[in-house]
Amino acid sequence: MDGDWLARQFEENRGHLQAVALRMLGSSAEADDAVQEAWLRFSGANTSQVENLGGWLTTVVARVCLDMLRSRNARREDPLDEHLPEPGASGASSGDPEYEAILADSVGPALLVVLEVLSPAERVAFVLHDVFAVPFDEIGSIVGRTPDAARQLASRARRRVQGAATIQQADIVRQQRIVDAFLAAARGGDFEALLTLLDPDVELRADAAAVAMGAQSERGRRLAGGSIRGARAVVEQVAGGARILHPALIGGLPGLAWSQAGRPRVAFRFTFAGDKIARIDLLADPETLSQLKITILRR
């Protein structure tokens, strides 16, 4: 089959495939990988007898995403994006309205946390049916279940998502805004803006590994005791020193993290009191980090 024709057919479906993968995985980087894998399978398959290429490609990318979700669970961690893309750097067209709508709705921290309560099969069944109206007989073939079992997966996922969303969404959105403001002010060295975000009695605690990582710097020596207290002391510690950090979900809650070679190296975990940050835990111990589910958010 003509390679140019295949490429054109795939590009016509790319926005939809990107939307499906992004909603399932919650990571633009992994969504790009899933769509690329779907292209490799498409370009190497005999599709001359396929009547609905869009549906066939949706099935392919869904199976790729299911494998990635199962692998993620086996590793007990979420994908880490070392580098954030420039605007428009995604593999999908930046002008694709379907992709942009799903992007805006899918990668918010509240929805990411809600979807994390689902098993891989539940997540695939829920996204395919409730978001993209894929029939249960097709979903069943993707997740290796009967159509009735696939229907039960989606129903169970729907109940869990609704319950989790009711409890978590408002608080998580509010906390994420505070963390975003904290990161922007810390990167810019905005002392006064940082003070407005911190509880006057805020405490910054660093584990032994974090203290050791900063032992050669002025900031590291000031943390030699493992903690400092008070808004001004904490601001002096963090102002201008957060350029390598990115927004993240730390154990399902808004935080900051730095990764290197695909592995988490440092995590900032926040405790809130109302609209103020009451405590910051600076975590760098490898064993501690390995137990946390960390997702670097692409903004």
| Shared domain check, 214 and 153 | no
Query: Of 111-120, 135-144, 153-162, 220-229, which gets the smallest average pLDDT?
Result: 220-229
Q: Residue 93: is its pLDDT beyond 80? A: no
| Shared domain check, 114 and 161 | yes
Helix or strand (DSSP H, E) at 273: strand 263-273
| Shared domain check, 183 and 149 | no
Q: What percent of the chain has pLDDT over 70?
A: 77
pLDDT 10s digits, 14-35? 989 988 998 888 777 788 899 9
Cα separation, 142 vs 140, whole angstroms: 5
pLDDT 10s digits, 194-242? 999 999 999 999 988 888 876 434 344 455 557 899 999 999 888 776 7
| Shared domain check, 156 and 177 | no
| Shared domain check, 157 and 120 | yes
Considering only residues 214 and 68, tell me which one the structure prediction assigns the higher pLDDT. 68
| Shared domain check, 195 and 71 | no
Cα separation, 4 vs 2, whole angstroms: 6
Residue 61 belongs to a domain with what CATH number?
Answer: 1.20.140
| Shared domain check, 280 and 233 | yes
Question: Where does a domain end: 168, 187, 212?
Answer: 168
> For residue 117, what pLDDT is reported?
74
Which one, of 113, 99, 85, lies nearest residue 298 by Cα?
A: 85
Torsion sign (Cα): 201, 207, 208, 214:
negative
Helix or strand (DSSP H, E) at 135: none
| Shared domain check, 268 and 254 | yes
Range of the domain at 279: 172-296
